């Protein structure tokens, strides 16, 4: 009897021990940089190496933040001053790649992603460390900028010489600098031989490799409620970027004005509460999330933009909570029940394939 009992206890301990995995080898650190929290997870990396890598990323993010800030003084500010002069000048090397990539993405989006509308963003009060309180600007003031149609095509690049003729042009890379920075961070990690990582800059992320023997698990926050709307597994190399009307906005006389300005109307884009884009490159994902948000909730409006930009998937949540999703993403995504009592799922419409 005692022997049997001992055997049982031994067997039982073995079963339990088998259930206890070794702590996963994730190196985790958060940085307060780039005007947000950057959350970095590296899998299978020794702490010392992890520290080195994160210190390097912290420096890079800090540099990019100072260089590309849309309203603090710095290199982008100087470029903006020189652009309004109308005269040719030598392009600043730290800003040039952003202008080139920004122009390319703007063209692909048919101008819906337009980093040249810094003056409109300023007019709405979103180019500020403080949230605007309203009132919204006047139609006349908006019209005055729109009539001059600022766009990336106004910038003429000739070697390292740069010039623009449009006085309404002002660069604001807020809708894609974060994606560009995340791409650089992933490049740096790969150069350091780190192939399994997630870099999440204020909610927008790119993940490479895997979390050990499983993919990375990404939760997508609900645009209107606390908690998670859906989850998706990511492995290999993919970015997940969301643009939402809840990120920056102000309410004025019962109406919400969000920070995503439609370059066609000069007013905040209407109809959607969030757009999540899935694709490899983070800068593309970032710009496309803005472009699709501006395109609006009608499939015949946003789908052609998604196709033209070449993203691999998208999920759009409209202001009534209805979800549209591309078929490839639908297969991979799991909609979380809101709580234990309520198992209802949002109304989901699967769009045509990209």
Partner 1 sequence: MIALKLSRGDIVVWLLAATLLVGLYTAFWQSDGRGAEAVVLVNGKRWARLDLFQNQDLEVPGPLGHSHIQVRNGQVRFVASPCPNKLCVHTGWLSQGGEVAICLPNKVSLQILGSDPRFDTINF
Nearer to partner 1, 146 or 232 (CB): 232
> Helix 75-85 and helix 47-68: axis angle, to 10°?
30
Task: CB nearer to partner 1: give 41 or 119.
Answer: 41
User: Which CB sits closer to partner 1, 190 or 221?
Assistant: 221
CB of 320 to partner 1, least distance (A): 20
Q: Is the Cβ of residue 16 or residue 140 nearer to partner 1 in the bound state?
A: 16
- Nearer of residues 170 and 259 to partner 1, judged by Cβ: 259
Instruction: Compute the CA torsion angle 303, 306, 308, 310 (nearest 10 deg).
Output: -140
Contact at 8 Å (CB) between 316 and 288?
no
Q: Give the tokens for residue 238.
A: 């993919």
Contact 121, 127 (CB under 8 A): yes
CB of 286 to partner 1, least distance (A): 12
| Calculated CA dihedral for residues 149, 150, 152, 154, nearest 10 degrees | 90
- Which tokens belong to 222? 């609900």
In the complex with partner 1, which residue's Cβ is closer, 19 or 159?
19
| Shortest separation between residue 319's beta carbon and partner 1, angstroms | 17
Q: Please say which residue, 61 or 113, places its beta carbon nearer to partner 1.
A: 61
**Which of 5, 158 has the CB closer to partner 1?**
5
Q: Provide the minimum distance between the beta carbon of 173 and partner 1 in the complex, in angstroms, as a whole number.
A: 19
Torsion-angle region of 88 (φ positive above 0: left; ψ -120 to 50: alpha; else: beta): beta
- Kindly state the smallest distance separating residue 151's Cβ from partner 1, in Å: 30
Closest CB 293 distance from partner 1, rounded Å: 14
Smallest distance, Å, CB 274 to partner 1? 8
Burial 282-293 (b: 16+ CB within 10 A, else e): bbbbbbbbbbbb
Pick 4 or 159: Cβ nearer partner 1: 4
Instruction: Quote the least distance from Cβ 291 to partner 1, whole Å.
Output: 18
Q: With the CA atoms of 303, 308, 314 and 318 taken in that order, what torsion angle do they form, in degrees rounded to the nearest 10?
A: -40
Closest CB 12 distance from partner 1, rounded Å? 5
* Interface residues toward partner 1, by CB under 8 A: 1, 4-5, 8, 12, 15-16, 19, 26, 30-32, 35-37, 39, 41, 129-131, 198, 200, 203-205, 207, 211, 216-221, 226-228, 231, 240-242, 244, 276, 340
Between CA 249 and CA 133 the distance in angstroms is 9
């Amino acid at each position: 009897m005692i022997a049997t009992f001992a055997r049982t206890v031994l067997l039982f301990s073995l079963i339990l021990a088998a259930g206890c995995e070794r702590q996963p080898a994730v190196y985790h650190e958060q940085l307060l940089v780039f005007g947000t929290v950057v959350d970095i997870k590296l899998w299978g990396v020794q702490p010392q190496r992890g520290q080195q890598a994160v210190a390097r990323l912290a420096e890079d993010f800090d540099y990019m933040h100072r260089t590309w800030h849309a309203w603090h003084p710095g290199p982008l500010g100087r470029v903006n001053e020189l652009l309004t002069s109308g005269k040719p000048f030598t392009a600043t090397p730290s800003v040039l790649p952003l202008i080139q990539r920004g122009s390319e993405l703007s063209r692909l989006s048919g101008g819906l992603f337009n980093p040249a509308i810094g003056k409109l963003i300023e007019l709405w009060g979103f180019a500020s460390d403080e949230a605007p309180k309203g009132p919204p600007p006047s139609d006349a003031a908006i019209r005055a900028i729109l009539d001059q149609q600022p766009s990336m095509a106004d910038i003429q690049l000739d070697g390292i010489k740069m010039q623009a003729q449009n006085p309404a042009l002002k660069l604001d890379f807020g809708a894609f600098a974060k994606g560009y920075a995340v791409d650089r961070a992933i490049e740096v990690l790969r150069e350091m031989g780190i192939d399994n990582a997630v870099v999440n800059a204020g909610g927008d992320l790119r993940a490479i490799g895997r979390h050990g023997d499983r993919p990375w698990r990404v939760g997508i926050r609900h645009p209107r409620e606390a908690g998670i709307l859906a989850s998706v597994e990511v492995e290999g190399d993919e970015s997940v970027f969301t643009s939402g009307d809840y990120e920056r906005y102000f309410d004025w006389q019962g109406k919400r004005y969000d920070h995503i300005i439609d370059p066609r109307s000069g007013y905040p884009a209407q109809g959607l509460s969030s757009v999540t884009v899935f694709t490899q490159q983070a800068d593309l994902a970032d710009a496309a999330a803005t472009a699709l948000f501006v395109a609006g909730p009608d499939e015949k409006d946003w789908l052609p933009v998604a196709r033209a930009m070449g993203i691999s998937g998208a999920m759009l949540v409209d202001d009534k909570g209805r979800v549209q999703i591309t078929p490839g993403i639908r297969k991979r995504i799991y909609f979380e029940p809101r709580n234990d009592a309520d198992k209802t799922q949002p109304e989901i419409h699967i769009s045509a394939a990209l």
